[in-house]
Structure 1
Amino acid sequence: MTDEPALGWESNRRVDHDTVFLIAVTVMAFIVPIFMIFPPLPVETSDALRQTHRKLGRPAHRSKLPSRSTPEQQPQQAKLPTIKSLFIYPIKSCRGIELDRSRVLPTGLEHDRLFTFAQLKPMAGQSGRWECLTQRQLPLLANVKVDVWLPDPSKKSRELGHSDARFLVVRFPWQAPGWRGTMHFLAAKLSRGLSASPEKQFILPLDFPSQEEIKARTYEISHVKIWEDVVQVLNMSADLPPQLAMYLGAKHQLALFRSDPSSRRQVFRNIAAPEDTLGHESVVDFQDGFPIHLLNLSSIQALESLIQKDKISGPPEYDEDDWKSVRFRRSGMPEESSVFTVTCHTVRCKLPNVDPATGVRHSVEPDRSLRKYRQIDDGAPRMGCLGMQLCPVFPNTGTPAQLESYVEAGMDVEVLKRGPHRYPG
């Protein structure tokens, strides 16, 4: 008699497990198809592009740029400095993209500064004028992330087929109000990790569109003022979400422009080497004034120690101040090289006061220390200098293909000529 209750209890438990299993299978049979038709996480533009494209650049967690000084960055006798990292900024003043290798064009690194934000500045008695925006006016541009998506020949989507189009995806922090914002918050955590924040994104064509596409997407030819120049550009604001202006805190109408290849600007005050020396006309897109900016990590760290971009490592701090001409080349492979004329010092404004990781502006640094320790150019009195401006040199100019070269991380930096500089202030 003592055994019968135990046997009955085991039998009931087995029946309960079977019942739970059948119920779970039944529920899943209904839920899985629903999730397939209506995904619990929103499908982003980037998710679709992954089927046919690849994203340009290195992930942030795999950056070659060290967060602190390392022994290999210290000056080493009888050893050439090297290129530590390469960065492009497809949209001026927004988050950059780190590259291992880049094509060099007369305008600088490929895909660099092709776009810019601008605001419509009111003018008395007139309709207003578009003026270029940077982190000087809108520090939160530092938090706007930009991805370049290029066609991947190895990928072909069954639904989308193969695409040769190149795209720019722009992402910025944004959480909608109310329950929708809560859903966006949860979706960000589930899809991109616990440290992720909700974002809004939009997509643009990377290449200058055809006349048919301009008309179809309601783009407009316009003009924008950048420093001393007013240039013809393409207004692509039809694709701009209104939430971006709210996030950035723009006080006036916000617009996004793409550089027009037929209307580029001359290098700042036309002080680059003559065209017959460079092998091409010295022009830029939305760079401040010159095609390429070079920074020496040793110089940055020397300045940081007092306070308490291509970036190179190895030479002594401020050694680059008198460079006039440089060659980037692979070690032992002189035929694979790129030559640049070093045009002038980089005269610093207050933009570096904005922390590029957060978009928060410091009230005085590093501008105060730059002015105190780096007043080195008689052409820019009371201004601090850090870095050098470069223009590419192409010795052969017979075909468009000859107006390009390549640079990549790890290349040696060979100084071909030294001499004094004076900024054309």
Structure 2
Amino acid sequence: MSQADVPSGDVQARIARLFVHPVKSCGRVEVREALVTETGLDLDRAWMVVDSQGTFLTQRQLPRMALIQPQIKALEVVLRAPGMLALHLGINEVESPATVRVWKDEVAAWDMGNLAGQWFSDFLGQPGLRLARFDPDAQRLASKQWTGEVDAPIEFADGFPLLVASEASLAGLNGRLQAAGHEAVGIERFRPNIVLSGVEEHDEDRFDEIRIATGDGLVRVRPVKPCSRCPIPNIDPATAESSPEVLETLRAYRADPRLDGALTFGMNGIVLEGAGRTLRVGDAVGADFWFD
């Protein structure tokens, strides 16, 4: 699409940053472009660490997962962690079928083998860990309570294909943190996929639809549910140490009545149109507000 094709809407914005998190709850990869699929950005939450019973694990239980840094290459994802040799995961390589549990969903997956399992067990200090790859033939859907008539497939994300946040929302939080004598934090603590510029603080909460003009057509994203926050934003991704100030600060102004007072930051979204198209940093965005 050309500049003349900038989507119309109540708000004009841009994609400021894009993030992919290949292994659920491990580090992020900031990218300049990302392929859109029905389940979100390509390779996002495609792998997941599970315990010996096949149940998913995150930074909630194992904060050191934050220190595992991925790199996406043409045919593999490379994981690095302090004191460990790199672990290479072939994007198209799996070893044996498995069944894993993520929240209330039990889904078919592929086990990535003993080497990957031992690597995570050694670094995270917990025996019996395995690494699973989502089975593309399996189907896991986002909650129809929030998606309505739309079937929105997901892989190992907590609940929805995409998470959208904005630079302005982070700036608002950081202003409050610094006023209270705390350090500013990075957007990576909130694990978004798409970060918008050119909007006001928490405008994303009230968007009915987000339209993104890509080089090969329109991508339409519907924000459907505010993202309620567990303790992970308190974890410093550089050190894996947790301190309470982020959630304590959000508690003063981000208790969301739509979720019984849960603290929210960012919006979960679903893909309405555009699977197979590529988002790029700088893409033009148009969005309309919804009103009760």
Q: Tell me what 1:149 maps to.
A: 73
CA-based RMSD of the aligned residues comes to 2.1
CA distance in 2, matches of 1:417, 1:274: 20
The match for 1:387 among 239, 257, 266 is 266
| SS at structure 2 position matched to 1:240 | helix
Aligned to 1:302: 172
Are 1:323 and 1:419, in contact at CA under 8 Å, matched by a contact in 2? no
Aligned residue for 2:279, secondary structure, equals strand
Encode CA deviations 1:132-151: one digit per residue, 9 max, x unaligned.
1111111111111112221x
Displacement of 1:302: 0.6
Structure 1 position 323 matched with structure 2 position 213: no
How far apart, in 1, do the equivalents of 2:125 and 2:213 lie? 44
Deviations 1:50-96 (A, max 9, x none): xxxxxxxxxxxxxxxxxxxxxxxxxxxx9822110100011111111
Is the partner of 1:370 in helix, strand or coil? helix
CA distance in 2, matches of 1:221, 1:406: 31
Matches of 1:264 and 1:361, distance apart in 2: 34
Asked whether the equivalents of residues 118 and 130 of structure 1 are also in contact (C-alpha less than 8 Å), the reply is yes
Conserved? CA contact 1:138–1:249, under 8 Å: no
Q: Deviations over 1:78-122 (max 9, x none)?
A: 9822110100011111111111111111001111110011112xx
* Structure number having the greater strand percentage: 2
**1:271 Cα deviation from its structure 2 partner:** 2.6
TM-score by length of 1: 0.60
1:20-67 Cα distance to aligned partner (Å, 9 max, x none):
xxxxxxxxxxxxxxxxxxxxxxxxxxxxxxxxxxxxxxxxxxxxxxxx
Match of 1:299, SS?
A: helix
Report Cα offsets for 1:274-317 as digits up to 9, x if no partner.
Answer: 24xxxxx4110011111010111111111122122211122111
Match of 2:152 in 1: 282
Tell me which amino acid in the other structure corresponds to 2:112.
M
Q: 1:203 aligns with which of 66, 88, 108?
A: 88
Alignment pair present for 1:409 and 2:284: no
| Matched-pair contact (CA < 8 Å) for 2:168–2:202 | yes
Aligned to 2:181: none
Measured in 2, the distance between the counterparts of 1:273 and 1:204 equals 36
Give the structure 2 partner of residue 111 of structure 1: 43
Bigger radius of gyration among the two: 1
Higher relative contact order (CA 8 A, sep 6+): 2
Match of 2:245 among 342, 348, 365: 365
Q: 1:248 to 1:269 in 2, by over 3 A?
A: farther
Please state how far the C-alpha of 1:262 moved relative to its aligned partner. 1.2
Q: Provide the rounded CA distance (Å) in 2 between the counterparts of 1:304 and 1:206.
A: 37
CA distance, structure 1, for counterparts of residue 120 and residue 159 of structure 2: 27
Mapped pair 1:336 → 2:217: yes
Unaligned runs of 5+ in 2: 1-9, 179-191
- Aligned residues with identical type, % of pairs: 26
- Counterpart secondary structure, 2:255: coil
- Shift, 1:405, TM fit: 2.0
Q: Which runs of 5+ in 1 are unaligned?
A: 1-77, 121-128, 151-165, 175-198, 276-280, 395-401, 421-425
Aligned length: 269
Distance across 2 between alignment mates of 1:273 and 1:341: 11
- Whether the 8 Å CA contact 1:322–1:418 is kept in 2: the answer is yes
Deviation at 1:265, TM superposition (A): 1.1
TM-score, normalization by structure 2: 0.85
Does the CA-based 8 Å contact 1:372-1:384 persist in structure 2?
no
SS state of the match for residue 90, structure 1?
Answer: coil
2:30 match: secondary structure: strand
Match of 1:375 in 2: 255
The 8 Å contact of residues 118 and 130 in structure 2, kept in 1 or not, is answered as no
Shift of 1:270: 5.3
CA distance in 1 between counterparts of 2:291 and 2:134 reads 34
Alignment pair present for 1:172 and 2:81:
yes
The structure 1 residue matched to 2:99, chosen from 223, 245, 248, is 223
Give 1:248's aligned residue.
124
In 1, Cα distance between equivalents of 2:132 and 2:166: 31
Question: For the Cα contact (< 8 Å) 2:209–2:220, is it kept in 1?
Answer: yes
